[in-house]
Structures are given as C-alpha cells and as structure tokens.
Chains A and B, each alone.
Chain A
C-alpha cells in the first residue's frame, strides 16, 4: 500500500465512499487523448524513421537487419550530398539574417508606432501567411522569371537596364527571396514582443545620460531585444532548412536542398535508409539551431556580471 498515503490515513471511512481516484490520475486522464495522438502519429513514426536510417534495405525493398550506417556515410561523405547540406545551411543562414534585417524596423514600427500605423503594419506583415504557399510561390515565379517574362527583369528593361537580365529564378537566391517573404512575420512578431516589453524610461534614461538616439538604440534597445531576435532567428533558420515547396518550385538544380533530396530518395530512388538519414539530419539541424541559440543566450546572461566595467 504505497499509493496516496496522506489521504488514505486521513479519510478513515474509505469503504463508505464511492471510489475516489487519486488527483494525478485525473490529470493523466485529461492528457490521454493528446498523449495517444502524439505517440501514434509522432513518436512511433519518428522512431521508425530513425530505426530505418540504421538498417539495411533488401533487394526486394524490405528494411531490416543487419544494422548499418551506410546511409549516413553516403550523406556526409559524398561530395555531391555534402554540397546539398552546405547549401541548405547557407540558404537557411542567409534567409534568417536577411529576414532579421527587414523585420527589425517593422517590429519597431509595430512596437513604437501610433496605434493605427502599428496595426496596419502588423496586418501587412501577417498577410503572406493567409496566402497558400503554392500560390505565393507561383507569384515569385512570375516576378523573378528570366528575360522579358519576369516582372523584375521587365521593369529593369523599362529603366533602360535591359541588357542586365538578372538570372534569379532557379537559383538559391530565388529560394532566399521567397523564404524571407514567407517567414518575415515569424521574425517580426517575437522582436516586436521583445521591444514592447522594454520600458520606455530606459531609453529616456540613456538619452538623459548623454546618448544620442542612435547610441541609445545600440547600447540599450538592441541588447534588450536579443531574446526576441534569437527566437525569430531560430524559427526562421529551422523552417528554411526544412523547406520543400519553395526550393522545389523556385530553386531549380542550383537550389537543391535537403528537403528535395529527401523526397527524391524516398519517392524516386525508394532508398528508405538514405531518406531516413536525411530526415534525421534535418531534425538535427533544427534542434542544433535551437540548442545553439539557447546556449548562447545563457552564456551571455552568465557573462554579464562577470564582465568588468567594459568602459
């Protein structure tokens, strides 16, 4: 008799009562549907996938023993695949940096602007999220198309720059441009939240102590908004690294990312161990970004008291 000791001893006439469940069992009961859903549709498939990546596939296509890490070996050691991984990381990095640069001023307008302007900016920033990714990506195809068919090149032609026909579509840059567009709100929102939490009197105090508006921003506002910036960078980096539709439609052969490689391996080559290894790598990249940023934030917080008057 180990269960719920205190209530058992205090409530003497146990038998006289209807069955009383211990308190934790109610919580468990309420959690059950969600837990069951996650186990069936997330945990089991993930574990299956993970196990496939260390098994071998027979000629008939069955995945089974013996254990083998040849999928990882090929993925990490073949130069062609290495290029795909590096390109994926590069596109994710560029996208998150450009998104941050564009998002910061927008977040400032949302956090500090007059209420009407702030709400309008918010609406414009969130708007891309309500358009289907396929429609949006077709839009970018029209805009970025080469020669006179692309709106950007057509417009450049109008201004007498016709000779310089920009080749953007079907390069990694098309993926970066479209990804920045899609993920902008996911960067703006955490930064704006961070900014609006900073007391306005901190900026005023900095100004009164002799800081110009720009220096007050650099020394006070920017460092205090780093948590929001970090959240935005993590989200955008992970989502870009995992994207499939955008590189598929805009990237062409020069925008081959891990997501496309994964799809090819599974649906065209039918190489499940290889596909699983790619999927695992993608999860590791996303987790790595998250852990890395969290670690940097913690280190920064711990470093502040140690730093002797950085004067």
Chain B
C-alpha cells in the first residue's frame, strides 16, 4: 500500500449557511505527504472546511484543487478521498473484513485482490485476528483502527480526519495519535485533521492552521504558532500566555525597547512576532523572586500572589499586577534551582523573563 503523494489547495473557499458565514475565504496550500491540523474553538468552521474538501458540502464559492485539478464539482464518490469520522461510521451489518473490502468492491477490484489487500490493511493496523468480527464486538480504539484500514485500503489521494480520537480516553488517544501518524508518514498520504485539542494538533501535525469565526488566523509549524503566535487569540488558544500592553520607544542593538503601560521597560527581540502593542510571555518562561526595590526594572513587573496551585510537574502561581491584570507563572517542580516554597497568597513578587522569550503581537 503506497500513496502517490498529492498536494491540496483551497482557494478562496467560502461557505455560508443561510446568510451566516461558516467558512470565510480560506486559502491554503498543503504539500504532498504533509499532515495539517485545523485547530480552533467550537463552531469556527473546521468541520465545514473538511467536508468541503471531501465533497460532502458544496462550497458557496471558491475551489478545492487536488494535485492542481479542480475537484469542486466532482461528486463525493469520485474524489478518492479517505475519511475518518468521530463516530467511526463502520457499517454495523458488515464484518471488519467486509467493512475494509467495501471501498475496493465499489472500485470493482477482483475478489482475489480484495482479499489480499484487506489482509494487508488489517495487518497494518494489527487487527487481522479480528477480520470476521462485527464492529459492535470491538472496542472504540479497535473500531477506529478498522476505520483507518478501510480509509487507506483504497489508496486515497487524501486522508481526512474529523476529530477521529475525540471519543477515546486520554491514554488510548495518545497511543492512537502515534499510530495514525506513523501510518500516515509511512504511506506518505497527505492528511488534513480537525481537532480542538491543541496538544493533539501539536504532536501529530507538520503544520497547524488556527481558525476563528471561519477565518484563518495563523498557519505554521507547531513551534512557530506556539512560540510566535500572530495575535492574542492564537497565543491564548495554544497554551496559556501573559499579555502586557506597551508602546515601542525605539530600537537598541537588535532589540525593541518598549515602555509597559503598567510601568517599567521591556526589551523584545526585533523580528520576533508580527509586531503590535502587546508582548506575550509564556508562563513557563517567567521567573519569580521576592520584590525588593519598587523601582521599575527591565523585563520584569511586580505583582501580588493570589493563588498557588500544585500541578504535579509544575506549580502554577497566579499573580495580580498593580493595574489589576492577572499574570501567570509556571514553576517547574523538577528544577532544583527554582525556589518553590515560600509563595503564599499576599506575597509581593517580581515576575521577570528574558528578552528572547517575549514576542510582540497584535491585540486581536
């Protein structure tokens, strides 16, 4: 089983349901063999985008191009796309083997070839001993593996996954993430996955597409979108982030100097992030020390401890800044150098960070 790597392009893809825009002018290029995750809050249009690629939803305007060919008006059953559904969508009246054979039978593949390809596909997902069972006699994880075998046995040009692991518990989900990703890489299938789980997107995808209200907010590798979020929404959606408002004073040796509205100066590496009136600092980049001098410092801001929460790997300290904003610091519990004791609600602390860990972003 191999896939001929194909690329996918969405060009101005738009869908409105009775006047409300579910997907708004989405343009995106996905290279052959790449796995892209559509990530965003509920109702942002991820499923609708995926279903337009599949052909299950007709776009209001715009085009879907597979390998440069416009497929927008090609009916679902001629697109040769494999899909994994959240509820698996296995045919309950057919055995595992018959489910996997279905797509090949529709392609009028000879009996002997169907049998051998079904066996190969089931072996790939380690379910060959279950071939004659009905789907109802399988666990959720096994069912989704049957669905995966059924989707890839037809050697699809694309693999679409709509929250494929949403119904599984955490540990099984993590195991399946690895398994799906390994098979996708091994076969070189171009894949688009929908999820609202940011960890899943980061661990599985080559690139992440963050959507909001039907619009693309940012497209980039997991590292890019996490370390250099384009705006406040992306920074807040992928993990937690602190935001400080300020205004740029000027450049100094490759760094932008900003005056923070809450008092003090901050230095941010020029070119880190798209620029804007906010600096974003990840909580894990924050260091805490008892506030001594009240004089403004660089790359630091004083605040009062509100809550201390032990979370296993780390301790989360919630600070309240003098201007009323909240500020979050994650202190690693494995790092001996970091003091963890002595934080009590009401303590005055100075939160500081390095210039390299701050990003200037837009307030949107």
Contact = CB atoms under 8 A, between A and B. Distances in A.
B93 A304 contact: yes
Contacts of B114: 309, 311
A206 B111 CA distance: 19
A145 to B, nearest CB: 47
Interface in A192-222: 199, 201-202, 204-213, 215-216, 219-220
Contact of A210 (B54, B85, B134, B154): B154
A202 B98 contact: no
Contacts of B101: 309, 311
Nearest to A300: B93
A306 to B, nearest CB: 8
18 contacts: A199-B87, A201-B85, A202-B89, A202-B91, A205-B91, A205-B150, A207-B77, A209-B103, A210-B106, A211-B102, A216-B77, A220-B91, A224-B92, A305-B134, A309-B114, A310-B98, A311-B98, A311-B118
A11 B87 CA distance: 51
Nearest to B104: A311
Contact of B95 (A215, A220, A309): A309
Nearest to B107: A210
B115 interface: yes
Contact of A211 (B56, B106, B115): B106
Closest A-B pairs by Cβ, 3 of them: A210-B106, A209-B103, A205-B89
Nearest to A211: B106
B132 A305 contact: yes
Contacts, number: 88
A92 to B, nearest CB: 28
Contact of A309 (B93, B118, B133): B118
A223 interface: yes
Interface of A: 199, 201-202, 204-213, 215-216, 219-220, 223-224, 304-311
B97 interface: yes
A204 B89 contact: yes
B58 interface: no
A58 B27 CA distance: 94
A111 to B, nearest CB: 17
Interface of B: 54, 56, 76-83, 85, 87, 89-95, 97-98, 101-107, 111, 114-115, 118, 131-134, 150, 154
Contacts of A212: 77
Contact of B80 (A202, A206, A210, A310): A210
A202 B87 CA distance: 10
The residue in A207, A219, A220 that gathers the most chain B C-beta atoms within 10 A of its C-beta is A207
Contacts of B90: 205
Given A211-B77, A304-B94, 20 more contacts: A199-B89, A201-B87, A202-B91, A204-B56, A204-B89, A206-B102, A208-B54, A208-B76, A208-B81, A210-B77, A211-B102, A211-B106, A304-B134, A305-B95, A305-B134, A306-B132, A307-B95, A310-B98, A311-B98, A311-B104
A204 B82 CA distance: 11
Contacts of B94: 304
Nearest to B98: A309
B356 to A, nearest CB: 47
Nearest to B162: A201
B159 to A, nearest CB: 11
The residue in B56, B76, B83, B107 that gathers the most chain A C-beta atoms within 10 A of its C-beta is B76
Contacts of A206: 91, 102
A204 B154 CA distance: 16
A228 B107 CA distance: 30
The residue in B82, B132, B134, B154 that gathers the most chain A C-beta atoms within 10 A of its C-beta is B132
Contacts of B111: 311
Contacts of B102: 206, 209, 211, 219
Contacts of A201: 85, 87, 89
A223 B93 contact: yes
Nearest to A204: B56
A215 B91 CA distance: 14
A145 B8 CA distance: 66
A212 B107 CA distance: 11
B82 A309 contact: no
B74 to A, nearest CB: 12
A170 to B, nearest CB: 45
The residue in A213, A215, A309, A310 that gathers the most chain B C-beta atoms within 10 A of its C-beta is A309
A298 to B, nearest CB: 14
Contacts of B81: 208
Contacts of A205: 83, 85, 89-91, 150
Contact of B83 (A199, A208, A213): A208
The residue in B87, B101, B102 that gathers the most chain A C-beta atoms within 10 A of its C-beta is B102
Contacts of B154: 209-210
A305 B77 contact: no
A304 B95 contact: yes
A220 B99 CA distance: 11
Contacts of B105: 311
Contacts of A208: 54, 56, 76-77, 79, 81-83
Contacts of B98: 307, 309-311
Contacts of A310: 98
A230 to B, nearest CB: 14
B87 to A, nearest CB: 6
Nearest to A215: B106
A210 B103 contact: yes
B82 A305 contact: no
